């Protein structure tokens, strides 16, 4: 069990290191080529647009096949994207911008497949009683990797070429795929876990009897029906969708630090570094938080802290205070993200988990492309501080919703951890 948790955590570290290198190099190139906040926001808009339209399809794929296999295929494709980038960079520079946008699309699709498959894999290999703890570990590992990746990406970019950075990024993805080969399938003490592990083994066995699978569209439609029937999860997805209106400030931290705080790239690095450190701390203690506090309380406190801190970031121009506020924003975001992901892993049966995760992504992201572009426009027009104030105010408005909604009030991850019991399946 501990071996699997360690391997999954290491896999997440490698994945996030590669992903952060990709993101920082990409945003750096786009922003400094155009000098426009709107152009930087366009990359986010493209990524979320892909999520909206393709997430349901990718969710069906992740449920149809062995999660280990789909994760490894995803890492392999992501690695190839960086390898192919090298000849494009050196010999086809006129096509480099087109290839970058193509890479964003492929990267988004593969990361969605990897994420959906990972949500299936974790409960099967660590047991549902360890889901919150494992999610905390991989969150901390991922945030540490992002910190290292941001530093490595910028540093390596200054020493070697853009193509060299992408090759390093590819090597990390290939290594992440290899790590998964060392996972050991274990049986949980709970009867249902034994059934799920058996189902996973059955998926990997070759059989002379070909089972007739439901039609692709029907499987996707089943996912919508199941989401509708699970009211607590549906309410959380709706809340996430509404809160994403606050993503006006998506990708605008660099603009805030530069324009409002008059900071250098070093100051921007400090904002990221301390923010990620706060997320790492939350990841390490989230298991204890979910046993001591009710889940709706964690949601409400996370929203309140995030909202107030975001507003204040748009008001102040003192660097030290801005760094502290950014730490609070990322820490509260980690609480919300880990709690939501853990609940989804526990409350959804394995064979539907990929579809449910992908549907949650698609639905919650539906407003993000337009909102992120609007945020970039408002920042160029009225100043980035106004965008942060609007975003934080919107988040704070929804603070009490988790406490007053009867379906969300029923969620309690702490009990599931203490008893090691399975949640009622859909």
How do the domains of the chain map onto residue ranges? 2-184+230-419
Biggest CA pair distance of the chain: 68
pLDDT at 48 > cutoff 50: yes
Q: What is the pLDDT of residues 293-342, one digit of tens each?
A: 888 888 999 999 999 999 999 999 899 999 999 999 999 988 888 888 77
Residue 205's pLDDT band (cuts 50, 70, 90): low
DSSP 318: -
Cα distance from N-terminal residue to C-terminal residue, the chain: 26
425, pLDDT greater than 50: no
How much of the chain is helix, strand and coil, in % rounded to 5? 85, 0, 15
In whole angstroms, what is the distance from residue 412 CA to residue 345 CA?
Answer: 13
The alpha carbon of 156 is separated from its chain's Cα centroid by a whole number of angstroms, namely 25
Only one residue has tokens 């509404």, namely 242
Q: Which helix (H) or strand (E) holds 27?
A: helix 2-34
Residues 89-141: tens digit of each pLDDT = 787 777 777 787 788 888 888 888 888 888 778 877 777 667 777 777 887 88
Give the number of other CB atoms < 10 A from CB of residue 143: 25
250-300 confidence digits (pLDDT tens): 677 878 888 888 887 678 778 877 888 888 888 888 878 888 888 888 899
* Average pLDDT estimate for 146-156: 67
Determine the Cα–Cα distance for residues 10 and 214; give it in Å rounded to an integer: 35
Kindly state the average pLDDT of the residues 179-183: 86
What's 252's DSSP letter? -
Q: How far is C-alpha 229 from the chain's CA centre?
A: 25
Tell me how far apart the alpha carbons of residues 422 and 426 are, in angstroms, rounded to a whole number. Answer: 12
Please report where in the chains the tokens 């549906």 appear, as a residue: 234
- CATH number corresponding to 2-184+230-419: 1.20.1250.20
- pTM of the entire predicted model: 0.67
Q: How confident is the model at residue 211 (pLDDT cuts 50, 70, 90)?
A: very low
Gap between the Cα atoms of 65 and 344, Å rounded:
19
Closest CA to 70 of 27, 119, 34, 138: 119
Rounded to 5 degrees, what angle do the CA atoms 133, 279, 103 make?
Answer: 100
């Amino acid at each position: 069990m501990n071996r699997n948790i360690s391997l999954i955590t290491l896999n997440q570290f490698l994945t996030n290191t590669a992903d952060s290198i990709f993101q920082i190099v990409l945003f750096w190139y786009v922003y400094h080529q155009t000098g426009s906040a709107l152009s930087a926001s366009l990359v986010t808009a493209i990524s979320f647009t892909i999520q909206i339209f393709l997430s349901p399809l990718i969710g069906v794929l992740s449920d149809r096949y062995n999660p280990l296999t789909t994760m490894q295929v995803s890492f392999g494709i992501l690695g190839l994207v960086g390898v192919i980038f090298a000849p494009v960079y050196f010999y086809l520079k006129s096509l480099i911008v087109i290839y970058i946008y193509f890479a964003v699309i492929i990267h988004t699709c593969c990361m969605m497949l990897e994420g959906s498959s990972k949500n299936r894999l974790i409960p099967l290999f660590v047991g549902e009683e360890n889901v919150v703890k494992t999610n905390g570990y991989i969150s901390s590992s991922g945030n540490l990797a992002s910190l290292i990746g941001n530093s490595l990406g910028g540093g390596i970019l200054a020493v070697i070429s853009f193509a060299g950075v992408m090759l390093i990024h590819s090597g990390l993805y290939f290594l992440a795929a290899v790590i998964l080969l060392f996972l050991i399938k274990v049986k949980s003490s709970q009867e249902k876990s034994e059934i799920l592990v058996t189902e996973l083994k059955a998926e990997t066995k070759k059989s002379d009897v070909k089972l007739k699978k439901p039609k692709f569209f029907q499987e996707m439609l089943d996912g919508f029906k199941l989401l509708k029937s699970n009211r607590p999860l549906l309410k959380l997805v709706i809340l996430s969708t509404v809160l994403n209106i606050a993503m006006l400030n998506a990708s605008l931290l660099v603009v805030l630090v530069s324009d409002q705080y008059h900071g250098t790239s070093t100051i921007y690095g400090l904002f990221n570094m301390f923010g990620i450190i706060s997320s790492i701390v939350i990841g390490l203690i989230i298991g204890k938080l979910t046993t001591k506090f009710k889940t709706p309380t964690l949601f409400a406190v996370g929203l309140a802290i995030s909202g107030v801190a975001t507003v204040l970031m748009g008001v102040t121009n003192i660097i030290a205070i801005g760094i502290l506020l950014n730490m609070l924003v990322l820490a509260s975001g980690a609480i919300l993200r880990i709690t939501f992901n853990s609940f989804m892993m526990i409350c959804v049966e394995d064979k539907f988990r990929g579809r449910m995760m992908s549907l949650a992504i698609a639905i919650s992201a539906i407003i993000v492309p337009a909102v992120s572009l609007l945020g970039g426009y408002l920042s160029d027009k009225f100043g980035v501080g106004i965008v942060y104030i609007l975003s934080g105010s919107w988040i704070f408005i929804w603070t009490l919703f988790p406490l007053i909604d009867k379906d969300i009030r029923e969620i309690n991850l702490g009990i599931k951890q203490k008893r090691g019991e399975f949640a009622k399946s859909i």
